[in-house]
Amino acid sequence: MKIIIDEDKCCGAGQCVLIAPEVFDQRDDDGIAVLLQAEPDAGQHDAVREAAAVCPGAAIELSD
């Protein structure tokens, strides 16, 4: 699994960080989401899918 964040769409809601804190973080200077793991471990895949599904900005793209 590969994750791409579209920074323009990110509205800094922080849902991804609340759901998958080992994969996502937010920059201190603007609250925009950043990746801690661009290709997360299998154990994180469910949380990452949930984060992508609920992102209010639809800013998280997943590919295999």
Indicate which single residue of 4, 18, 36, 38 sits in contact with other proteins (rule: CB under 8 A): 18
For other proteins, which is the closer residue by CB, 37 or 49?
Answer: 49
Residue 2 binds to other proteins (criterion: CB under 8 A): no
For residue 29, count CB atoms less than 10 angstroms from its CB and return exposed for 0-12, middle for 13-18, buried for 19 or more.
Answer: exposed
Report in angstroms how near the CB of residue 9 gets to other proteins at its nearest: 8
Residue 14 binds to other proteins (criterion: CB under 8 A): yes
Under 8 Å between Cβ of 10 and 54: no
What is the distance between the alpha carbons of residues 3 and 38, in angstroms, rounded to a whole number? 5
